[in-house]
Amino acid sequence: MSAISHELSPQAINAKLISLISAGAVSLGVLLSGFVINEPAPYELYMAGLIAVWALFGLRISKPIVPLIVLLVLFNIGGMISMTQMAELKNTPLYLAVSLFLALTAIFFAAVTEAQPGLFRLIFGAWLATALVTAALGILGYFHAFPGAEIFTRFERASGAFEDPNVFGPFLTLPGIYLLQRLLTGSPLKMPLYAIPLLVIVGGIFLSFSRGAWGLFGASAILLIAGLFLQSASGAFRLRIAVMTIVAVLLLAVAVMVALQIPAVAELFSTRAQLAQDYDSARFGRFARYGIGFLMAMEHPLGIGPLVFGQIYGEDTHDIWLKALLDYGWLGFASYAILIGWTLAAGFRILFRDRPWQPYLLCAYVVFIGHIALGTVIDTDHWRHFYLLLGLIWGAIALEYRHQRRHRPGYAATASA
């Protein structure tokens, strides 16, 4: 009787209610991340309010998250210093404000997932839900399925509820990889539950006609399969992964072949599938600008100012490393490089440990690696989902630190003291 009374005590009910409200609030924020047709998007407005409220009511920053905070702050300080080199500020303060805000979202997601590990499942579920909606909009828009559907396309490419197909495709990758992981490791009876939404996600990625998104999904899928092989020593499990991988590849190959029977799809695919486009290899194309930008960065250790390179040459750097050098200076570049290296090293160290959050970490980690590679051909410093990935990995890093600390000899005595 006392156990029942304790379970229904006002304190327990309040704690449960607060937990449900906070979980719903975080999930709503992730849902909004899939709708960015105009800026500022609802995601920015909502997350700014959510972070502020959470900070007022006890957002806890633990020791393992401190490196993330320090490096992101230094990165943004580099941008502020770089801004001092500009003759005209134009929209630069707003640009840097967005950079700082996105850094705060990474810190926020790291902190809340450490505090409530159950949020991993809810965040992945919300990301999958919003990805399915925006992917479906992109597919319907591409085929002009209803009047006004063209709002969900850009440059005759599916973009869903995004401004740019080159961001739309990468946004879909984590949910696609998560579904693939469930397809490879889940119950065979549930295969249709994973296969059907996976086809929708892959359809959106394919019709975005983003070479970066294609490569990102392919590389992330290969890394996921390799990770699953390394994770288990069971021959039967590895055989199952091999068989399921073949089935998944055949399923996707058939879907792509069916899509290529549509003349418009086949024509755009043949154009976009070329390794180098005209704007890449032209005299002042993307590749030539890399060399120009690097030489410029060597002459300006404080940077030249955010967005200035694009104003001079008509196109942005399209390389996150070069952008860090030019827009955030040598300080920003060093901070960013250390942050990426630290995240990869600390994440890999705990990648295969048997923890409840390990499947989510594995999916986020392989997609994060893909984004690092993708950053060599596109600017990712303002991609909302990149900072979400960063926060998820650091949340797992902090959880592992807490787990190890709790299992150290003498922890119980220290905690009670």
CA distances, 310 to each of 84, 330, 379 (Å): 17, 19, 12
Check residue 65 and report its DSSP letter.
G
pLDDT of residue 86: 92
The helix, strand and coil proportions of the chain, stated in percent and rounded to the nearest 5, come to 75, 0, 25
Element holding 289 (H helix, E strand):
helix 286-299
| 392, 360 Cβ separation under 8 angstroms | yes
Quick one: tokens of 12? 């327990």
Quick one: tokens of 211? 């070479």
pLDDT of residue 413: 46
| 341, 321 Cβ separation under 8 angstroms | no
pLDDT of residue 410: 57
pLDDT of residue 70: 98
For 338-349, write each residue's pLDDT tens digit.
999 999 999 999
Q: Report the first-to-last Cα separation within the chain, whole angstroms.
A: 31
pLDDT of residue 67: 97
Q: State the residue for tokens 């065979």.
A: 188
Question: Which regions of the chain are under pLDDT 50?
Answer: 1-6, 412-417
pLDDT of residue 2: 47
For 229-258, write each residue's pLDDT tens digit.
888 878 888 888 888 888 878 877 887 788
What are residue 36's DSSP bridge partners?
A: 162
Q: At what angle do helices 119-142 and 10-32 cross, to 10 degrees?
A: 30
Q: What is the C-alpha separation between 225 and 169, in angstroms, rounded?
A: 21
Which residues lie closer than 8 Å to 129 by C-beta, 6 or more apart? 31
pLDDT of residue 4: 44
